[in-house]
Structure 1
Amino acid sequence: MSIFDKPLSVLDISASGLTAERVKMGAIASNIANAQVTETSDGGPYKRKEVEFATVLSKSLIGGRNQKMRLNGVKIKGITESKQPPNMVHIPGHPQADKNGYVSMPNVSVAKEMVDMIAASRSYEANTSVIASFRKMGERALNIIRR
């Protein structure tokens, strides 16, 4: 069995990866944009959004009754709020400061978000490279057939 047994699966897998990483980058951008928000409509500081991925598996028949699981991409399992407590920062003059001068700040580390953004963008680039390579392979195969 080769990747050409179901050629669109290569594109489907890469497309699902592109979609998943785009959603993750959106959540990261939201986290960075709200890193200083101390009061939300729900009350309390902004809570970091986390994107969870899950693999998509499919059964394929190989040689009769033998069923094997094949990776068929990735999907968004969910976007959840972090369970980590807010960061307590000493800012005595802040309007949301408690009696000791501490403010509940979002549990967002901009440095960690930037590292996650770099990893997500590299994964996105890798998936676009797979799609481009697959397209070039198809074009070369068509050129061979045309000769």
Structure 2
Amino acid sequence: MGAFDSLRIAGSGLGMHQTWLDALSHNIANVGTVRATDQEAFRAQLVVAESRDDGGVRVREVALTSAEGRMTYQPDHPLADEAGYVRLPDMEMSDQMTELIMAQRGFQASAQVTKFAQDTYQTAIGIGQR
């Protein structure tokens, strides 16, 4: 592995994890979005990552969940249909929070690798200046 490979790989990890964190924050903000049954449900964003040939990672796509969502009985809701149902996103807050922790840990790990590599390079430059 070359001298700057760790920075490149960690940088790709930072970018992928930032995209994942952004998608999760969007999902969490909309986990309770209620729609009428004749409308599409909020569609959660799912980040699909893949490895690169150089050892890094990239976002292959940001997929969306089903527009069907889940029907919930809430007869007092202003958007409820005549049977008392509304449409909610097909996602759970607990799943989103679990993924949020994983994305945060991945981002932190990539940031730590970047910092360690920068410190190592600074030390090497300092030795060369003596």
TM-score normalized with structure 2 length:
0.87
Aligned to 1:36: 32
How do 1:128-139 and structure 2 match up within 5 A?
128-139=111-122
CA contact (8 A) 1:52 1:79 kept: yes
**Cα RMSD (Å) of the superposition?**
1.9
Give the residue type in structure 2 aligned to 1:45.
A
Structure 2: gaps (5+ residues): none
Aligned to 1:11: 7
Q: Quote the Cα distance in structure 1 between the aligned partners of 2:122 and 2:76.
A: 65
The answer as to 2:76 corresponding to 1:108 is no
How do 1:116-135 and structure 2 match up within 5 A?
116-135=99-118
Which structure has the bigger radius of gyration?
1
Q: Quote the Cα distance in structure 2 between the aligned partners of 1:37 and 1:83.
A: 14
Q: What is the count of residue pairs matched by the alignment?
A: 128
Structure 1: gaps (5+ residues): 59-70
Per the TM alignment, residue 80 of structure 1 is displaced from its structure 2 partner at its CA by 1.0
Per the TM alignment, residue 57 of structure 1 is displaced from its structure 2 partner at its CA by 0.5
Q: Deviations over 1:65-90 (max 9, x none)?
A: xxxxxx2x111100011138512221
Q: Quote the Cα distance in structure 2 between the aligned partners of 1:99 and 1:39.
A: 14
Aligned to 2:58: 75
Q: Quote the Cα distance in structure 1 between the aligned partners of 2:129 and 2:21.
A: 42
Aligned to 1:20: 16
Q: Which has the higher strand share?
A: 1
TM-score normalized with structure 1 length:
0.78
Q: Quote the Cα distance in structure 2 between the aligned partners of 1:32 and 1:137.
A: 38
Q: Quote the Cα distance in structure 1 between the aligned partners of 2:100 and 2:125.
A: 38
Per the TM alignment, residue 35 of structure 1 is displaced from its structure 2 partner at its CA by 1.2
